[in-house]
Amino acid sequence: MEINPAVTFKHDRSLIYNKRPKVLIVGAGLAGLTLGMLLHKANIPFEIYERAAEVKPLGSAMAFSATTANLFKQCGIYDEFVSISKLSSVLNVCNEQRESEYKIDFRGHDEMFGAKGYIVTRPKLYDLLLRQVPQERIHLGKKILSMENGGNGVLIRCSDGSVAEGDILVGADGAYSAVRQNLYAKLLKDKRLPPSDALPLPFSTVCLVGQTRPLTPEEFPDVALEECQFRNVVGNNRPYAWSTFTTKQGTVCWICIQYLDDESSKENDAFRNSEWGPEAAAAMAAQVRDFPVVSGGDKKLTLGDLIDWTPKELMSKAMQEEKVFKTWFDCRTVLIGDACHKFNPAGGMGATNAMHDALVLANLINGLPFHPVANEIEAAFKAYREERCHWVKDAYEASKIFKAMAGQKMMAKVVRFCVKNTPQWVFQQGQNRTTCNRPQCAFLPLVQDNGRVRPAPQPSLSVKTPKDPENNEDKVEAIPAAAAAI
């Protein structure tokens, strides 16, 4: 296949067989699987290419609120999601003496926003999403070496010698996205890449994450409680913060974040391009063993106890970069999730924003006319970025605040003081601004949102599925209209 960026001919859709655009998704993480699930429901052809040879159950716990509840309900997975999750309504911030400093209370979210908040382990959520995608559509061991992106299609070449062709290429392959790197190399050569996008990903933290085996209430009393016990401990004069979460499965998920200075940044720089995995975790695990944790009982436990209860294959170390890229798309190629915006994990916003990216992009891809040409696809991508960008920037700023709240510098102490003494009504206003973003899928039956705080406007919700060209209906208004509405 020859990808020719100069192909801009106008074709008569009435003379071309009905064809939805074929989507190539690179990356089988949460963003890629969510997009695959939605495209499958829209009956849009797609294939997912994942560089890993096997799926590894890595990661800790993730928090989800009403912002994803409507999506899960539309896809018919909300009840199962709730069944594998634990209700979470309070974040307890503690000190190294295992004393509670203050609490952030999320109770009443179901009345305000139509759904409660839950904590779920990443492996359980990943498995749930994985089962929504036909397995024959997921291709493992496909490391992308190069790609072509032009007016008449996209093409990817993999390290095993295989080649795939399509109409749209989606980079859902994480912070060090091969799709983004290939795309940016071409844009840089053409002098079309903003200078900031050419800079390396900045990072200021590394994190160690894990999940214990199922524990008994005698070992960790909090696992017996119905609600998730979500506790964050801020280090006393050491550059660490760590959190624990009890889960529906009786395990304890934990994460320890190290805040880097100039010297420790140099020590970790060689690790920046490595995979998540247990191999890199041992040294950091040895450094944090004595950090105290709150178990809910009289027994004084430490991270060392949790580390000893954690199967080695469920513990990993990872860099935590922070950046919002300016360039999200070009021609037939588009980026979603960590490939175009990476948040610090302290805010817990990465997964939700990746899923929102996938939802909005799915709405706009579904609205493309049959056999779309490059400029129509690019108009859809422009509408996607414009709808998502301000939410992403807000999440990025919020994650920086959560990061600062757990640090040791004077600014961190000021942030903690402000949060501790913020009136509840002020805190509620902030929650209203973020949790009003409760998008839905335009091509699935809408769910009734009963939250007292109404959902924010969602331009892509008005995008309609194209009519069959054989019916001589208007076939090309969907995307221009959506773009104009934003």
Strand-pair category, 203-211 with 252-259: antiparallel
Mean pLDDT of 100-105: 84
Residue 258 has pLDDT above 70, yes or no: yes
Give the chain's mean pLDDT: 86
Helix (H) or strand (E) holding 171, with range, is strand 168-171
Distance CA 432, CA 451 (A): 11
Residue 378 has pLDDT above 80, yes or no: yes
Domains defined along the chain, listed by start:
20-57+122-200+324-461+473-479 (3.50.50.60), 203-321 (no CATH)
Distance CA 29, CA 138 (A): 11
**83 alpha-carbon distance from chain centroid:** 21
**163 alpha-carbon distance from chain centroid:** 27
CA-closest candidate to residue 232, choices 369, 15, 61? 61
Task: Specify whether the CB–CB gap between 112 and 156 falls below 8 A.
Answer: no
Residues 6+ apart with CB under 8 A from 133: 33, 36, 37, 40, 48
The pLDDT confidence band at residue 222, using thresholds 50, 70 and 90, is very high
Residues 6+ apart with CB under 8 A from 203: 260, 265, 268, 272, 319, 320, 321, 322
For residue 50, the SS3 value is coil
The pLDDT confidence band at residue 424, using thresholds 50, 70 and 90, is low
Least confident of 158-162, 169-173, 260-264, 332-336: 260-264
Distance CA 144, CA 304 (A): 39
445-486 pLDDT, tens digit each: 999 999 999 999 999 999 999 987 565 444 433 433 333 333
Least confident of 115-124, 202-211, 339-348, 385-394: 339-348
For residue 334, the SS3 value is strand
Strand-pair category, 153-158 with 163-166: antiparallel
Res 409: pLDDT: 62
The pLDDT confidence band at residue 273, using thresholds 50, 70 and 90, is very low
- Ordered alpha helix ranges (H), 22-138: 30-41, 66-74, 78-83, 109-113, 122-130
